[in-house]
Structure 1
Amino acid sequence: MNKRIRTPVKRRLEINDEAGIGVSRNFNSIVIEAGGYEALTFDERDARNQIQNARRLRLGVGDAESVAFYFHRMQQENSNFYSAIDFDVDGRIRNLFWADTRSRAAYKAFGDVVSFDTTHLTNKYDMLFAPFVGVNHHEQSILFCCGLLSNENMNTFVWLFKEWLNCMSATPPKAIITDQCRAMKNAIQIVFPQARHRWCLWYVMKKIPEKLRGYSQYEAIKFALQNAVYDSFKKDEFDEEWQMMIEKFSLHDNEWLGVLYGERHRWIPAYVKDIFWAGLLTTQRSESMNAFFDGYVNSKTTLKQFVEQYDNVLRSKVEKETKADFKSRNKLYDCLTVYEFEKQFRAAYTNAKFKEVQVELKRLLYCHATLVKEDRSICTYHVKKAVLVGDKVKKVEFVVYFNSTEFEMQCVYRWFEFRGIMCAHSLSVLIERCIYEVPDKYIMPRWRKDLERGYACIPTTYSKSEAALNAKVHDNYHKTLDEIIEVASNDDSKHKAIQLGLRDIKERVRKDESGYASNMPPASSTVPPASSNVPPSSATCKVLIPLVAH
């Protein structure tokens, strides 16, 4: 508590470091000037930490100006661009956060599940790249926003997550997946207390050699652990397998395993498959996003260069999504079966998701459903599935419940809840009951090829030129809505009138797209024209995102 480096001394350490003086000589000069070690309130280790922190915050020539210019350019392009800069006590950039207007609107469509990870992308200043990544309807990674951070402590993550909330109209994700970072965990509990938080399974499992290799029965322990994690479909099954492993190999004193079991609701598949995770078991989305950026930047990239390349990265992602849209609308895969539900899935889903459905359809060959119990409308089926383990075929049994009154199904595998597509076990029960169509509730809207995405026509600096007309129209509407909301101020009755008016316009446009424009009164009699004299407030921008996106 008493260790403290005064500001003038901090400055002296930093100046000497910039001059190329080593840490030891740097510290010794301070000792000599102070009259001895006993006259200082800090030691060489504290000086070293101070210098390392200063290096992270020391930007190169043009870096700060480049960031400011980029943020200003994006704000001029569209008033919904969001940025935030966190400064230290000396006025130096410590952390950055930003999100372009298209990415903010994309969060409205696909922000239910978010993968968050940090990596040393811009190693020149040892700043951490922190992307917030989701999954679109083509199973592609989509970037919502990102930050550049000077450290990974809890206060930094709290700042970042709060800026995220401000940026996303105070709408937290329903589910977020990260690594085991304690600082992240604490910050999420503070800022997103209602979000479901879980750990990347890969990060946990890769630590097995480090934590358990010292045991003489290491290979047997690893096999038992993997079996408990991957082959348990129910919570009680996992608990039973885990306790058997602990007892058999006398692992009661292993602190790492104790912590993992205490936090099993954060990483064990049987504990997390009760809600939708878009199929994510790991932070692979964040990692793949980092790899994607690696094509444009490297360890020697300056912050200035990184900012300059940022638009190129996003442009590439937009083009990839646009191509997938075109293929899903114009190219149909051949059906593998004669069942009508396959045609339903093909007509509704994007090609990427339909291919996943076909993987489950192929597994039907190895599934056999048998009715074992019928209690009024609830029918219980056991589905035996042949699985290849090594060079041997093993029979695995899954339980599927079918409600004949509500036409609802639930498999212990929880594939639909977790991934959003029906599993082979549930489909085999439908076939056993001679049901060849599925109700709409088993066709998840999130994966549809005709999904409405308001962000597709939002103006950006990296969109294709042919989208410019839609972009301008969108921005004009945005400015008009800004003005209307400013007129309404905080009057609840006026806001209700706005909502009713917008709903009416939406319905009329949908009902008669061709005749609506000719039947509507001139724009001047409906709403005041957009004017550049009324600047939209930042609060207004935050309110308008959901209106436009939907």
Structure 2
Amino acid sequence: MSDDDSLMEYSEIVMKMFGSEDDGFEFYNNYAYEKGFSVRKEYCEWDNGHNERTLRKFVCSCEGFRAEKEDFIDEHNHPMTEPDLACFLRSHRRINDDQKAEIVQLQISGIHKHQIMDIMVRRYGGYDKVGFTSRDLYNFYHRNKAETLSGGDARTIISYMTESKRRDPDFFFQYKTDGRGHLTGLLWCDFQSQMDYRAFGDVVVFDGTYKTNRYNLTLVPFVGVNHHKSTVLFACGILSHEDTESYVWLIRSFCDAMIQKHPISVITDGDHAMQKAISIFGAFGVVGLVVGGIIAAASSSSRRR
């Protein structure tokens, strides 16, 4: 571009007026796409009452491009990206609403993330036509999942369990929700876990001391030991409340999963609500109570092996 063309382009840009900050950002982002660089929003200034913005600065991702209300500086200390690669720069990538809806549907259907990206690439005719990268898809995938669950919506996990049941008819799950649709109880196990229980389920250990997830739900694994002295998982449960009623529901669901085959002995962490639930439900014979410290020591020993 000649000096005269550059001067004319500069004059046209600094004379432009925009109805909103978003309009201004969209203009400069399009300009950056044509030139081969990416932009981001930097700081802003407010009026004395802090009611309206008086200045917003946009900068190159490498901080060489600056656009202010009264100035425009088109200087860069880095080479520009080739036109056919500019679409991969950060400010030019976006997952639109239609794509988000399709990704969620594919996710619910059990399609893996890398397969979803492959589907999108084929549909749009190439990576440069999709509008986002694999990293963008992974970030959206996990962000959408976290937002859905943190909002108390149990439909996502139930949809996943239902799809697992559809793919494997022997997969078992039961759940309960409160009046607001929040998940309060869930138990699940696959066919292999059921077979392990039939062979090695005379002694069952279940412990409600695990709260390692971000939602503060109690994870209750049902485990045993096989003929190789290795730990086997019979089922997993999740509870929102550690009370007798919740444990009664969990034990009943476990027995339903195992077709009412009851263990001979149960080892627990000595939780009073758990003990009472066992006595109320009457599902188990001899109950052995082991303090949490011994269980923790056994778990540590198992990890070392």
Structure with bigger strand share is 2
Higher normalized helix content (fraction of residues): 1
TM-score normalised per structure 1: 0.27
| TM-score scaled by length of structure 2 | 0.46
